[in-house]
Structure 1
Amino acid sequence: MLDRVKDRGLVLLGCGKMGSAMLEGWLAQGVPPASVHVIEPYPSDWLKSTGVHLNEPLPAAPAIVLLAVKPQMMGAALPQVVALGGGDTLFLSIAAGTTIASFEETFGATTPIIRAMPNTPAAVGRGISAITGNPRATEADLQLAEALLSAVGQVVRLEGEHQMDAVTAVSGSGPAYVFHLIEALAAAGEAEGLPAELAMQLARATVCGAGELAQQSPETASQLRINVTSPGGTTAAALAVLMDAETGFPPLLRRAVKAAADRGRELGK
């Protein structure tokens, strides 16, 4: 699928943290820098050193345009690529809360459009992206999107755009929940008498290690939890608090994820 990019070119609109992570992955996969055109008003020194076409005239019909600008900047940025709509150039957006319908209004309903939701672990090649397309997006388009997004992690397909707000709330915003867990766990360690630096080291390593174990183990998360919980032991005492049906993690995370999903729906209106 990447031969399509090599032959016709790729346009990256916006090259911040997520765009840079993706570009680094594409170049590592063998996409020639000469096939990549980047529009970025504030390029980093790293971007300038990659050999890509930077803020230069765009190809007439690139294989794909990846929209990697923040939603609030979309209105100002899209006019730079609007002339590429209406043909078989695929538009792939990673902007949260911006619907396919809004892009169809800009580029035309005949334009193939795919909406994706990646997350920040893409910066270390451990992200996960969910994708869904409009009726004009072909199987080949979806495969191309998967090939490009897989440079920074896993890719899953959704049943439709109606699932995107839930995905945003779980995996898009989810890394922030985990980072806050690290903060809270370290603070709890301090409250029990640990020095701040040591508490943070223990919390960070514990969460990262448990995540890697969950990733590599064939067992479910529930079973992994059971494996480290001795009846009547210290872990069981803590889990009695964390798993409380009214005040524990489950109802708290349901409320948090719902709040994020509701906000995503508001942004999409």
Structure 2
Amino acid sequence: MIRRRNIVLVGAGRMGGALLTGWLRALGPGHDYVVVDRSSREFRGAVPSAIPDNYRLDRVSSVEAVPNDRRVDAVVLATKPHQVAEALAGLEHCIEPETVAISIAAGIGIDRMLSATDATRAMVRAMPNIGAMLGHSASAGFAAEGVSPSQKALAEALFKAVGTFVWVSREDDLHAVTALSGSGPAYYFAFCEAMAEAAVAEGLSRDVANALAAGTVVSAGRLLEENPDPAVLRETVTSPNGTTAAGLAALGDSDQLVRMAGKALAAARKRSMAMS
């Protein structure tokens, strides 16, 4: 008989709620959850209508109230950064060496997590993005030396339940991850806004321009899901001397686009480092 896995989620706000929704929809039976959140409204909003029957889902209002009557396999800290250490310390009554502690708080390093508790050395930092709200997050994680293969596999499963997940080999790489996938959706939204504005200037109505600009971003994303090589897709839709080639030429050569993207990522990475 397979032992049930017990997950403690601290914080059911926007991102924590998105993770919980993904777990309930994707992980299926065999997982039990305790959610620490003071707001019963946020907790109810995070629970999808279609969920498996064979599960247990409890809510408590503080970390001290998490029951210690069953082994906790993973603690996921979806709190404000300044609350991570306090939450870990408050969970010591139910954390064991077999428990993997996972933080999605920006700027809180593994060393600070380790200093907050002696109950476990298995620490993971993960960076999901806003796409988790729809099950399409682009997430990355870093695992400390104390994380076992089985603990790492559990952490990976939790984030694959809400989208794409990859591991990075250095903790410092999470600054670049934050700049790329964490802040990245806003870059695409900004470009989508700019495209819609340009279409309005070309004579389209606002509603038509917004619908087509947004729909184009969605279709491009779906194509990238099927073939994650943007260069191949770009070449596929660009006929020689055609309209797409003319538009791309007006944007500038590829080096100019790389420099523009580089400036955006460098600025966001610098800010992430300053917040640590």
Q: What range is the shorter-chain TM-score in?
A: 0.7 to 0.9
2:215 is aligned with 1:216: no
**What is aligned with 2:123?**
113
Contact 1:85 1:107 in 2 (8 A): no
Local SS of the residue matching 2:164: strand
Shift of 1:233: 2.8
Q: 2: CA distance between counterparts of 1:134 and 1:186?
A: 44
Runs of 4 or more off by more than 4 Å in structure 1?
Answer: 47-51, 75-79, 82-86
Pairwise CA RMSD of aligned residues? Answer: 2.4
Contact 2:127 2:178 in 1 (8 A): yes
Using the aligned pairs only, state the percent identity: 38
Q: Bigger shift: 139-148 or 83-92?
A: 83-92
The alpha-carbon distance between structure 1 residues 23 and 32, as it changes in their structure 2 partners (threshold 3 A), is farther
Local SS of the residue matching 2:172: helix
Contact 1:165 1:264 in 2 (8 A): yes
Q: 1: CA distance between counterparts of 2:80 and 2:119?
A: 22
What TM-score comes out, normalization by structure 1 length?
Answer: 0.87
Aligned length: 261
**What is aligned with 1:250?**
258
**What is aligned with 1:240?**
249
Q: 1: CA distance between counterparts of 2:173 and 2:116?
A: 23
Q: 1:265 aligns with which of 246, 266, 273?
A: 273
1:152-205 C-alpha deviation (Å, 9 max, x unpaired): 012211112121111111111111111112111111111212111110001000
Shift of 1:240: 1.6
The alpha-carbon distance between structure 1 residues 192 and 11, as it changes in their structure 2 partners (threshold 3 A), is same
**What is aligned with 2:38?**
41
2:240 is aligned with 1:231: yes
Q: 1:66 aligns with which of 76, 85, 90?
A: 76
Q: 2: CA distance between counterparts of 1:227 and 1:264?
A: 36
The alpha-carbon distance between structure 1 residues 31 and 23, as it changes in their structure 2 partners (threshold 3 A), is farther
What TM-score comes out, normalization by structure 2 length?
Answer: 0.85
**What is aligned with 1:55?**
60
Q: 1: CA distance between counterparts of 2:15 and 2:29?
A: 17
1:206-233 C-alpha deviation (Å, 9 max, x unpaired): 1110111122137x31122122223333
**What is aligned with 1:30?**
28
Unaligned runs of 5+ in 1: none
- Structure with greater helix percent: 1
Unaligned runs of 5+ in 2: 50-55
The alpha-carbon distance between structure 1 residues 82 and 252, as it changes in their structure 2 partners (threshold 3 A), is farther
